[in-house]
């Protein structure tokens, strides 16, 4: 007799595999909730009274034996008919036939027919006959315990169909009765014990009573000792699932080892075609993965990958097991790639994950995990290969993955939050966007909140979060608590983790302890850091891919111990350790930059001991190499270049000029990746405030004046440089062929799109869109440079290109650096002229600027002693003449006729001084304005652009104090404008932002009489006050005014005042109008007194009118000089010189 439940299986534990509870699957499921009567009326044919129980049983046996010899459905039907008839009439008192054996034959006959027909009725009828057999079976019958087992199975199946706990309780108690009735060595006892254990496990899944699970495991284990061979596989399989389930509840690692042992004993015994085989493979692989995360046994990693791969290959693509197996398979492939330092596993993982994402719809529950791990795989490939596109795509995928979690309690949410935070922090390390690090910290904290004590993801989250805290704690202005929290998290992670995490955490903790030593000088931190590195090196033997990272940190600790008296042996030991790291790192590893920097530091220390020039050369050779590795990120490269600059200046090394050139190039590369003009400006203020002036000074100190002009132009006004690239005309490219015309269209389309998000400050979808566009734009530029004749497209201009700015008069670059102060006169023909100033000039200029700003503040505050202010102001301008401008004029007078136009292009502190007003202010001595006509230009390129381009706009805005003389000023301008010029007046409600921009596009001349506001902290928010709100600098920049507007007079405050913290960027309203297409702009360097300025405006417009009554915008600079000289004492001195001319 075969047992009806001999092929029972149960589902594996649900560790990230399935949300379902363990179920019992039998080979005879049923759908009804109760058994029908044993014999329904009319359900069987009527037999004659002569037929007895014994004769009917005999007929049934005959047909059943015949069926077993020759399976035929008709014969089976006859057997069932006779058996049912016999049991319907029951045995007589004189019956000699065994009543129990025929019952089993009927039972199995009904099951056989049900199995063939696929219905449930016969199964239910068969269960019903169990009750009848129990009634007439003697308790001492040898089949009594078997009947009880069948009855328990009936209850168990019914509970599975209807979910009734009462039926499950009946099943368990009946199994207990059956086991009590079985003799110890009964061949069917193992079947009953196995089913009893499965029923207990099912009750555990419903009630979560650990006693049930413990008892089930005990029963499974006893079954292994007593069950027949045909049940051994099922018993081992069920035991593996049960012990695995208990491990996940209690986290007892002995249970995990035991579960793996049982899985291993059965996984290869199941037929591969069975779904049961995949279920076991999945459970086995998950358990191996779990143990690998604790113990880092490489055999576990290999076996887990093998069995996850089996599930991925054999399981249907839409099955939940397939998605989960694929996620874990990809994860472990990535882990193995890190162990082997190979991209092959990563590429395979990315390929599998991409395919899985493609075939799953938006609502698929596995999609968040797949997206998160695909992001993780791309991040890993970025770390190995350095392709910034991988990092950007990883961030996008992780954002999508996190957004798809339906609740904060979703199982995979902590992992996806951690990956997202890690990708953002990685980008912050490379590019320096503060938004990234703030968001990363928020996501790390959210992940940690979802990982309480004993959560398997907690060590990883702690390690990653602590790395961020350690990184930000090293920055200026950081919170000291961040460093302490970082160390606390590392210690906690170290206490609960295993290898490979352990060696990584040891190395990371050593890094932050070194950082704390540098801040607090506690030698105990350095000693503990060294011990941690030694521990990590033991865990990372020769050939381990992360061994060089530990070498690097260990060497940094050794360097931190250096003192002026350190023996050369200590230096050599550090150099040997760094060399070991350098050699072991793959060529594109991002930590090579840091390794080169540390090698440079070690050689510099060795030079301080030996005074050997070769040590100095080695040091700066490594600083140069540190700038050449893009895998470290543009920010790391730029900062490496600035360290090169700083060291080369300090030691007077001949590589200093190349260092500056490299820094300027890398700064441009770094800035172009930023989606926000604010971010770009902040980077310049933080990391590159004096690059322009210092680089120019360096070239001049090396007698390379041409290079000085070129570097000056490349490093100044970077915002305008970037914006001008997006508006580069490509008519010449279009004329070279159809393909090049499409290339030109592609460039212009991308450029137009890149102009739009210039005020972006967050990293949402628009930030991601910007970065994608920027990558496409860069690729398009590369394609254009591949076209014959366009190899220098958008590359920095040469001096031969730049001197075109001087075609109508010389341009004087005034450079103020802490190293030297100089002037460069750029002429239309010939070499530029260098005018060095005395060594103490920088301090004198600072003093002049400070005094001038003080006077302007007193003037704005309407100080009663205006005469004294004017005398002091004249004194400042006299010093400016004596120390700076006079020397320039002496050079100009040798080749530039009097009354010629000249253009000033100042840097640094020079930008705050009114150079055009400089003069001796002594009797009978001419000032600058008596000799030349001064204009200003932000850059040489800006002046060239303004020459390539060939109405009145008043406003009174809400929220600002009224301008009492504005109507008088407007009436005055209206009268002075020649009658042939069309005038559009915008005032009050009509003076809106949109109307002003529209008028600027369609009128040749503009006069803005309104409030102007320079925002010192946010220069891009500087604005004109319009009726409906501020017309900002960015509003103007984003509007291409075209070829119409030739001239604008800005009768508003501070329209030519730049950011005092980054003056070389020249970010002000007048520069914005010039960039947007206006050739000539008259602006103000400080606040305007509207009560007296009308005198100067009247004089200016009178000088603008030519002999025939026309209006000539090209006379703007000369008209401004003439107006300033003609108004005399009617206008206070500071208001006579407040206006400056910018442009052609």
CA separation for the pair 180, 186 (Å, rounded): 12
Q: Three-state SS for 1056?
A: coil
Give 888-909 pLDDT, tens digit per residue: 999 999 999 999 999 999 888 8
Give 148-192 pLDDT, tens digit per residue: 998 899 889 889 888 899 999 999 999 999 999 998 888 888 889
Q: Where does the pLDDT of residue 110 fall: very low under 50, low under 70, confident under 90, or very high at 90 and above?
A: confident
| Contacts (Cβ under 8 Å, ≥6 apart) of 563 | none
pLDDT reading at 1134 higher than 90: no
pLDDT value, residue 826: 94
CA separation for the pair 1085, 1091 (Å, rounded): 17
Q: What is the mean pLDDT of residues 297-317?
A: 86
Please report the DSSP string for 732-785 in residue order: HHHTT-HHHHHHHHHHHHHHHHHHTTTB--S-SHHHHHHHHHHHHHHHHHHHHH
pLDDT reading at 762 higher than 70: no
Q: 1090 and 963 in contact (C-beta within 8 Å)? A: yes
CA 125 to chain centre: 64
**Greater model confidence, 1044 or 954:** 1044
Give 529-543 pLDDT, tens digit per residue: 999 999 999 988 887
Fold of the domain built from segment(s) 451-545 = 1.25.40
pLDDT reading at 848 higher than 50: yes
Q: Which CATH number fits domain 802-942: 1.20.120, 3.30.420, 2.30.42, 3.40.50?
A: 3.30.420
Most confident of 501-505, 660-664, 739-743: 660-664
**In the CATH scheme, what architecture does the domain 949-1143 have?**
3-Layer(aba) Sandwich (3.40)
The fraction of the chain above a pLDDT of 70, given in percent, is 83
pLDDT reading at 876 higher than 50: yes
Q: Where does the pLDDT of residue 445 fall: very low under 50, low under 70, confident under 90, or very high at 90 and above?
A: very high
Average pLDDT, the chain: 80
CA 632 to chain centre: 15
pLDDT value, residue 721: 67
- CA 606 vs CA 552, 564, 575, 648, 807: distances in Å: 18, 10, 10, 16, 53
pLDDT reading at 246 higher than 70: yes
pTM of full prediction above 0.75: no
| Among 161, 129, 172, 130, residue whose Cα is nearest residue 33 | 161
Q: What is the 3-state secondary structure (H, E, C) of 990-1050?
A: HCCHHHHHHHHHHCCEEEEECCEECCCCCHHHCEEEECCEEEEHHHHHCCCCCCCCCEEEE
Q: Three-state SS for 24?
A: strand
Q: Where does the pLDDT of residue 356 fall: very low under 50, low under 70, confident under 90, or very high at 90 and above?
A: confident
- Picking from 564-578, 684-698, 720-734, 1032-1046, which range would have the lowest pLDDT averaged per residue? 720-734
CA atoms lying within 13 Å on the CB side of residue 925: 10
pLDDT reading at 669 higher than 70: yes
Q: Where does the pLDDT of residue 675 fall: very low under 50, low under 70, confident under 90, or very high at 90 and above?
A: low
- Picking from 856-870, 884-898, 936-950, which range would have the lowest pLDDT averaged per residue? 856-870
Q: What is the 3-state secondary structure (H, E, C) of 1077-1140?
A: CCCEEEEECCCCCCCCHHHHHHHHHHHHECCCCCECHHHHHHHHHHHHHHCHHHCCHHHHCCEE
Q: 61 and 75 in contact (C-beta within 8 Å)? A: no
**Greater model confidence, 682 or 41:** 682
**In the CATH scheme, what architecture does the domain 48-137 have?**
Alpha Horseshoe (1.25)
pLDDT reading at 1054 higher than 60: yes
CA atoms lying within 13 Å on the CB side of residue 689: 10
pLDDT reading at 384 higher than 50: yes
CA separation for the pair 397, 390 (Å, rounded): 10
**Greater model confidence, 580 or 1117:** 580
Q: What is the mean pLDDT of residues 611-638?
A: 86
CA separation for the pair 582, 603 (Å, rounded): 15
pLDDT value, residue 956: 39
Residue position matching structure tokens 């103490």: 840
Q: What share of the chain is helix, strand, coil (3-state, %, to 5)?
A: 65, 5, 30
- Reading the block at residue 581, the tokens are 């790291």
pLDDT value, residue 378: 92
CA separation for the pair 786, 493 (Å, rounded): 52
CA 564 to chain centre: 42
pLDDT value, residue 342: 66
- Reading the block at residue 146, the tokens are 């078997």
- Picking from 421-435, 841-855, 967-981, which range would have the lowest pLDDT averaged per residue? 967-981
Give 792-808 pLDDT, tens digit per residue: 777 788 899 898 899 99
Q: 248 and 277 in contact (C-beta within 8 Å)? A: no
Residue position matching structure tokens 């049934």: 60
Q: What is the mean pLDDT of residues 481-495?
A: 91
- Reading the block at residue 518, the tokens are 């540098």
Please report the DSSP string for 473-505 in residue order: HTSTT--HHHHHHHHHHHHHHHHH--TTHHHHH
CB-count exposure of residue 741 (10 Å: 0-12, 13-18, 19+): middle
Residues shown for the chain: 1144
CA separation for the pair 558, 971 (Å, rounded): 77
CA separation for the pair 24, 198 (Å, rounded): 7
- Picking from 379-388, 517-526, 815-824, 860-869, which range would have the lowest pLDDT averaged per residue? 860-869
pLDDT reading at 359 higher than 80: no
**Greater model confidence, 114 or 936:** 936
| Among 529, 584, 538, residue whose Cα is nearest residue 560 | 529
Q: What is the mean pLDDT of residues 262-291?
A: 86
- Picking from 85-94, 681-690, 803-812, 953-962, which range would have the lowest pLDDT averaged per residue? 953-962
- Reading the block at residue 741, the tokens are 């015309």
**Greater model confidence, 335 or 845:** 845
Q: What is the mean pLDDT of residues 51-71?
A: 85
- Picking from 114-118, 472-476, 558-562, 727-731, which range would have the lowest pLDDT averaged per residue? 727-731
pLDDT value, residue 285: 92
DSSP state of 951: -
Q: Where does the pLDDT of residue 613 fall: very low under 50, low under 70, confident under 90, or very high at 90 and above?
A: very high
Q: Are strands 1005-1009 and 1047-1051 parallel, antiparallel or unpaired?
A: parallel
CA separation for the pair 740, 734 (Å, rounded): 6
Residue position matching structure tokens 């398997």: 456
pLDDT reading at 1085 higher than 70: yes
pLDDT value, residue 554: 95
| Among 806, 803, 839, 798, residue whose Cα is nearest residue 821 | 839
CA separation for the pair 150, 127 (Å, rounded): 8
- Picking from 85-99, 310-324, 809-823, 1087-1101, which range would have the lowest pLDDT averaged per residue? 85-99
Q: Three-state SS for 4?
A: coil
Give 950-992 pLDDT, tens digit per residue: 443 443 333 334 444 566 677 777 777 777 677 777 777 777 8
- Reading the block at residue 725, the tokens are 């690239």
∠ Cα 456 459 462 (to 5°): 135
Is the bond preceding 500 in cis, omega lying within 30 degrees of 0?
yes
1031 φ, ψ to 5°? -95, 100
Q: Where does the pLDDT of residue 1144 fall: very low under 50, low under 70, confident under 90, or very high at 90 and above?
A: confident
| Among 887, 882, 891, residue whose Cα is nearest residue 922 | 882
pLDDT reading at 46 higher than 70: no
pLDDT value, residue 824: 95
Say how many C-beta atoms besides its own lie within 10 A of residue 942's C-beta.
24
1093 φ, ψ to 5°? -70, -20
pLDDT reading at 258 higher than 90: yes
- Reading the block at residue 1096, the tokens are 């100067």
- Reading the block at residue 564, the tokens are 């002026």
Say how many C-beta atoms besides its own lie within 10 A of residue 678's C-beta.
18
Q: Where does the pLDDT of residue 692 fall: very low under 50, low under 70, confident under 90, or very high at 90 and above?
A: confident
| Among 711, 752, 715, residue whose Cα is nearest residue 730 | 752
Q: What is the mean pLDDT of residues 392-412?
A: 85
- Reading the block at residue 645, the tokens are 């600059």
Q: Three-state SS for 816?
A: strand
- CA 1054 vs CA 678, 870, 1106, 1121: distances in Å: 20, 20, 29, 19
Q: Where does the pLDDT of residue 510 fall: very low under 50, low under 70, confident under 90, or very high at 90 and above?
A: very high
pLDDT value, residue 43: 40
Give 21-40 pLDDT, tens digit per residue: 333 333 333 333 333 333 33
The fraction of the chain above a pLDDT of 90, given in percent, is 28
| Among 946, 697, 735, 733, residue whose Cα is nearest residue 837 | 697
- In the chain the first and final C-alpha atoms are separated, in Å, by 108
CA 1075 to chain centre: 33
| Among 441, 459, 448, 377, residue whose Cα is nearest residue 413 | 448
Q: Where does the pLDDT of residue 500 fall: very low under 50, low under 70, confident under 90, or very high at 90 and above?
A: low
């Amino acid at each position: 007799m075969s047992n009806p439940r001999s092929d029972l299986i149960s589902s594996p534990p649900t560790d990230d595999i399935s949300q379902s509870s363990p179920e019992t699957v039998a080979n005879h499921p049923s759908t009804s909730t109760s058994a029908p009567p044993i014999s329904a009326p009319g359900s069987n044919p009527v037999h004659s009274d002569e037929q007895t129980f014994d004769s009917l049983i005999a007929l049934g046996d005959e047909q059943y034996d015949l069926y077993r010899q020759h399976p035929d459905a008709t014969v089976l039907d006859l057997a069932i008919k006779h058996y049912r008839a016999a049991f319907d009439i029951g045995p007589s008192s004189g019956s000699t036939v065994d009543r129990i054996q025929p019952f089993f034959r009927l039972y199995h006959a009904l099951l056989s027919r049900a199995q063939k027909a696929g219905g449930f009725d016969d199964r239910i009828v068969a269960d019903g006959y169990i009750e009848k057999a129990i009634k007439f079976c003697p308790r001492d019958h040898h089949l009594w315990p078997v009947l009880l087992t069948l009855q328990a199975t009936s209850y168990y199946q019914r509970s599975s169909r209807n979910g009734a706990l009462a039926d499950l309780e009946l099943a368990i108690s009946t199994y207990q009765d059956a086991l009590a009735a079985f003799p110890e060595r009964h061949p069917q006892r193992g079947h009953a014990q196995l089913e009893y254990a499965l029923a207990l496990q099912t009750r555990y899944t419903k009630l979560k009573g650990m006693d049930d699970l413990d008892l089930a495991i005990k029963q499974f284990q006893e079954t292994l000792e007593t069950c027949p061979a045909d049940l051994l596989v099922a018993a081992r399989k069920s035991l593996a699932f049960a012990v695995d389930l208990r491990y996940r509840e209690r986290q007892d690692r002995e249970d995990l080892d035991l579960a793996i042992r049982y899985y291993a004993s059965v996984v290869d015994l199941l037929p591969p075609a069975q779904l049961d085989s995949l279920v076991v493979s999945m459970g086995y692989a998950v358990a191996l993965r779990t143990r690998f995360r604790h113990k880092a046994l490489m055999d576990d990693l290999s076996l887990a990958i093998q069995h996850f791969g089996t599930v991925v290959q054999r399981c249907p693509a839409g099955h939940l097991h397939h998605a989960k197996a694929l996620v874990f398979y990809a994860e472990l492939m990535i882990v193995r790639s890190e162990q082997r330092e190979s991209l092959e596993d990563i590429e395979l993982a990315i390929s599998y994950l991409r395919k899985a994402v493609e075939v799953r719809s938006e609502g698929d529950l596995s999609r968040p995990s797949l997206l998160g791990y695909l992001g993780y795989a791309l991040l890993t490939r970025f770390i190995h290969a350095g392709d910034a596109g991988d990092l950007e795509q990883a961030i996008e995928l992780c954002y999508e993955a996190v957004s798809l979690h339906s609740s904060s309690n979703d199982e995979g949410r902590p992992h996806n939050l951690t990956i997202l935070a890690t990708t953002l922090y990685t980008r912050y390390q490379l590019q320096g966007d503060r938004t990234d690090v703030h968001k990363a910290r928020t996501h790390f904290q959210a992940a940690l909140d979802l990982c309480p004590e004993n959560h398997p993801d907690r060590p990883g989250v702690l390690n990653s979060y602590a790395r961020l805290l350690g990184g930000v704690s090293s920055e200026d202005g950081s919170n000291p608590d961040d460093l302490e929290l970082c160390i606390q998290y590392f210690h906690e992670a170290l206490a609960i983790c295993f290898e490979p995490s352990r060696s990584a955490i040891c190395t990371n903790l050593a890094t932050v302890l070194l950082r704390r030593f540098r801040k607090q000088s506690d030698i105990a931190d350095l000693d503990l850091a060294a011990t941690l590195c030694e521990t990590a090196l033991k865990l990372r033997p020769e050939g381990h891919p992360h061994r060089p990272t530990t070498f690097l940190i260990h060497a940094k600790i050794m360097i931190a111990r250096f003192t002026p008296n350190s023996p050369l042996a200590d230096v050599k030991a550090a150099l040997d350790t760094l060399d070991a790291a350098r050699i072991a790192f793959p060529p594109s590893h991002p930590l090579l930059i840091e390794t080169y920097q540390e090698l440079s530091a070690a050689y510099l220390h060795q030079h301080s001991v030996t005074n050997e020039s070769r040590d100095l050369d080695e040091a700066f050779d490594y600083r140069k190499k540190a700038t050449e590795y893009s895998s470290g990120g543009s920010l790391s490269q730029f900062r490496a270049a600035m360290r090169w600059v700083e060291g080369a200046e300090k030691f007077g090394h001949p590589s200093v000029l190349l260092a500056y050139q490299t820094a300027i190039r890398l700064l441009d590369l770094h800035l172009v990746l930023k989606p926000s003009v604010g971010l770009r400006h902040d980077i310049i203020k933080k990391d590159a405030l004096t690059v322009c002036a210092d680089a120019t000074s360096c070239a001049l100190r090396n007698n390379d004046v041409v290079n000085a002009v070129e570097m000056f132009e490349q490093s100044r006004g970077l915002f305008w440089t970037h914006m001008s690239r997006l508006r580069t005309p490509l008519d010449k490219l279009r004329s070279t062929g159809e393909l090049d015309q499409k290339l030109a269209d592609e460039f212009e389309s991308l450029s137009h799109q890149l102009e739009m998000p210039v005020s972006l400050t967050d990293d949402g979808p628009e930030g991601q869109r910007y970065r994608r566009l920027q990558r496409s734009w860069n690729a398009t530029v590369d394609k254009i440079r591949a076209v014959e004749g366009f190899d220098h497209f958008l590359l920095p201009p040469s001096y031969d290109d730049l001197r075109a700015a001087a075609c109508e008069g010389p341009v004087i670059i005034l450079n103020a650096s802490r190293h030297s102060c100089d002037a460069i006169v750029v002429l239309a023909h010939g070499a530029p002229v260098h005018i060095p100033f005395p060594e103490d000039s920088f301090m004198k200029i600072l003093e002049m600027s400070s005094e001038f700003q003080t006077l302007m503040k007193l003037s704005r505050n309407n100080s009663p002693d205006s005469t004294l202010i004017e005398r002091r102001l004249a004194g400042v301008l006299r010093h400016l003449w004596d120390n700076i401008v006079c020397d320039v004029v002496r050079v100009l007078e040798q080749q530039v006729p009097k009354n010629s136009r000249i253009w000033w292009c100042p840097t640094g502190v020079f930008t705050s001084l009114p150079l055009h007003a400089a003069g001796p202010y002594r009797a009978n001595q001419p000032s600058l304005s008596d000799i030349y006509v001064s204009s200003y230009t932000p850059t040489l390129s800006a002046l060239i652009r303004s020459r390539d381009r060939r109405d009145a706009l008043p406003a009174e805005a809400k929220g600002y104090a009224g301008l009492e003389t504005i109507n008088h000023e407007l009436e005055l301008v209206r009268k002075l404008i020649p009658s042939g010029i069309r005038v559009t007046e915008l005032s009050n409600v009509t003076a809106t932002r949109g109307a002003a921009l529209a008028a600027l596009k369609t009128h040749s001349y503009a006069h803005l009489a309104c409030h102007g506001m320079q925002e010192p902290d946010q220069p891009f928010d500087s604005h004109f006050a319009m009726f409906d709100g501020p017309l900002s600098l960015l509003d103007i920049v984003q509007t291409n005014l075209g070829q119409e507007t030739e001239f604008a007079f800005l009768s508003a405050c501070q329209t030519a005042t730049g950011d005092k913290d980054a003056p070389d960027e020249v970010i002000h309203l007048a520069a914005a109008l010039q960039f947007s297409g206006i050739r000539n702009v008259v602006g103000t360097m400080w606040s305007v007194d509207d009560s007296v300025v009308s005198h100067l405006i009247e004089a200016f417009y009178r000088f603008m009118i030519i002999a025939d009554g026309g209006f000539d915008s090209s006379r703007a600079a000369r008209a401004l000089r003439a107006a300033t000289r003609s108004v005399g004492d009617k206008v206070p001195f500071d208001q006579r010189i407040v206006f400056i001319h910018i442009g052609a």
